[in-house]
Amino acid sequence: MRNKKVIAVSFFGWLTLLLAACVKQEVPAEARVPVLPESPYRYDTLPIDITFDPFGGHEIDNDVATLGRVLFYETQLSINNRVSCGSCHFQHLAFSDRTARSKGFLDRLTPRNTSPIVNVGLQEAFFWDLRQSELSDMVLDPIANHIEMGLEPRPYMLAKLKNLPYYAPLFAKAFGDSVITEDRVSDALEMFMRALVSVNTRFDIGRNTGFVHFTEEEELGRQLFFFKFPCSACHGGSELSGLSEAANVGLDMDYEDDGVAGIHESGDPLDGWFKIPTLRNIEFTAPYMHDGRFATLEEVVEFYNSGMQPHPQLSTMLREHTDGGFFSLGTPLGSQSALDPLGRQPLRMHMTPEEKRALVTFMKTLSDHNFIRDPRFSDPFVIR
């Protein structure tokens, strides 16, 4: 049995090395080294006046999170040493990307827009299609993905890390000995991602103070968001998100990307259901939607105001009141049978220009400028 394992590992190692030899290696492995503080950063501390737990009840170990930070920015976790997790999740963009679709290790484009990373301890499902429910498994998926990082044979991933001298002491400090395993890599990446908490926004401060510091336009936007328009019906709670929920928001009548797998109550396959994302740091995470079709928040607001399509699986939160929705925001569009033969008449919110501006201004109160500059979350590598 042991010989069979050796043969299997050798085969996968040979296969991966062969592929790597065919791919341009832009940055030699030995040219990048992490520079870390003498004492580990404190990832486990939160402001004393915080009104919720962004860790989701999980304990944060500073040494494990430190190792996870190095792994998050480690280009050796791609098959040709070109990309890391941080190559698609940029801190200054709230760990998102500024493109509709990101480039992988061979510059091939990912099929969907890169999701930001924030307060993942509160989330129960991951990716736009909710396909992964365990963060410990999710953190390894991009490493093995054939477009993103391409390092599918796990033994080769471990072999690459063992050849880098700075990992032995980091693993020893995090876990008590220097043994490098797949589970420990997963645990460290998971710990660092759980430590990426954003709690220092004008909105968070306002929840403690009654929003007395909001400008007139910010307060108008808050009132519109929570009380006049159905924004908070999907984007609620501390994260202003669905956490582990998905919806069809009427982007198209027929989606090229089906999104979440499953069967609709109608008996048809789900079509166009995607995770309801957090609005935290939304100012930094353009472009928007699963395919990055909207470049600005103004475009997003206008879409919900006037552009939703009458898809047969359109969320009930986004239908006209006369079609089973929960909100009556204006005069119905007219004959449902003439305008909407599929029986899903989308809301038309009839926003004024002032209301549109106020909504965008309110969403910018969800920006955490400390989060995108915090050295604890930054790339530790330097070119030697």
- 3-state DSSP assignment of residue 145: coil
At 303 the pLDDT is 98
Distance CA 82, CA 86 (A): 11
Distance between CA atoms of residues 184 and 342, nearest Å: 51
Between CA 200 and CA 214 the distance in angstroms is 15
pLDDT score at 143: 95
How far lies 303's CA from each of 99, 174, 299, 328, 342, in Å? 20, 47, 6, 18, 20
Q: Which of 286, 305, 281 is nearest to 357 (CA)?
A: 305
Per-domain residue ranges for the chain? 2-199+370-383, 202-366
What is the pLDDT, as a whole number, of residue 335? 40
Write out the chain's pLDDT in tens, 384 residues: 334 333 344 444 444 444 444 444 555 656 889 999 999 999 999 988 888 999 999 999 999 999 999 999 999 999 999 999 999 999 999 999 999 999 999 999 999 999 999 999 999 999 999 999 999 999 999 999 999 999 987 889 999 999 999 999 999 999 999 999 999 999 999 999 999 999 999 999 999 899 999 999 999 999 999 999 999 999 999 999 987 899 999 999 999 999 999 999 989 999 999 999 999 999 999 999 999 999 999 999 999 999 999 999 999 899 987 766 666 665 554 444 444 545 578 999 999 999 999 999 999 999 999 999 999 999 999 987
CA 129, 134, 138: angle at the middle one, nearest 5?
A: 65
Residue 195: predicted pLDDT: 98
| CA distances in angstroms from 246 to 122, 194, 363, 366, 378, listed in the order given | 16, 22, 21, 21, 31
Q: What is the pLDDT of residue 325?
A: 67
**Domain 202-366 belongs to what architecture?**
Orthogonal Bundle (1.10)
User: Rounded to whole angstroms, how far apart are CA atoms 115 and 103?
Assistant: 14
Beta-carbon contacts of 25 under 8 Å, excluding residues fewer than 6 positions away, are 80, 81, 82
pLDDT recorded at residue 20:
46
Same CATH topology for 2-199+370-383 and 202-366: the answer is yes
What's 2-199+370-383's CATH class?
Answer: mainly alpha
d(CA 368, CA 93): 11
CA neighbours within 13 Å on the CB side: how many for 45?
Answer: 6
Q: What is the pLDDT of residue 344?
A: 72
Residue type, 314: L
Residues in contact with 37: Cβ distance below 8 Å, sequence separation at least 6, in sequence order = none
